Amino acid sequence: MAKKKFSKDWVMQHINDPYVKMAQQKGYRARAAFKLTEILDAEKLMQSGDIVVDLGSAPGSWSQVARERLTGAGGVVDGRIVALDMLPMEPIAGVEFIQGDFREDAVLEQLKNLLGDAQVDLVISDMAPNLSGVSSADSARIQHVCDLALDFACQHLKPEGALIVKAFHGSGFSQIVESFKRHFQRVVERKPKASRGKSSETFLVARRLKP
């Protein structure tokens, strides 16, 4: 009974969520688009000409925001947007999509072939693992996903590039922040207004790789 009530409450909250309504009005595939928009505005990130990689991109709302930001007056993307996900994603004009696990060499090879020798300006990751409710197991999974994004960024970013990644407050969070600080000169936490108050999610913005 409690589960049914919870589901009903969640559905009502979702229907009445102003960000859900705004996402529908603007044609975004998920309300998460507004989280990225707020972070980009606050950090003054993503400029024309940037090369952006969106890890864990499906359903594609972050790639949609990137496309908006990089589209010039003629409606053409000024820069590159490469999206990767294990799940399929509906095409977005101007976004190059690779379906696969970026931990696999074959997928990284595809990305390398797309980018050539170009280094990346910005890596964005809204990835989240499937959570079990067991805090010790979940914190390990969250840390693993963040480590994957960090490792990818360290290998592919320009020295002055930036990484935006989703994390969760709780056990293991301070270790994630510390690992980011070992590799980047500036690491800040961002909790966008579009992020639900009850959610423990927070976003780490890491800038400028340490030499």
| Residues annotated as catalytic (active site), given as ranges | 166
The answer to whether the annotation marks 10 as part of a ligand binding site is no
The answer to whether the annotation marks 50 as part of a ligand binding site is no
Residue 153: which residues within 8 A CB-CB, separation 6 or more? 120, 123, 161, 163, 206
Rounded Cα distance between 93 and 27, Å, is 14
The answer to whether the annotation marks 78 as part of a ligand binding site is no
Rounded Cα distance between 208 and 160, Å, is 4
Instruction: Order across the sheet with 157-168: list the strands.
Output: 96-99, 80-85, 51-55, 120-125, 157-168, 201-209, 184-190
The answer to whether the annotation marks 60 as part of a ligand binding site is yes
Q: Strand 96-99 relative to strand 120-125: parallel, antiparallel, unpaired?
A: unpaired
Q: Strand 96-99 relative to strand 184-190: parallel, antiparallel, unpaired?
A: unpaired
Burial group, residue 14, by CB count within 10 angstroms (0-12, 13-18, 19+): exposed
The answer to whether the annotation marks 121 as part of a ligand binding site is no
Which residues contribute to the annotated binding site for S-adenosyl-L-methionine? Answer: 60, 62, 85, 101, 126
Per the annotation, binding residues are 60, 62, 85, 101, 126
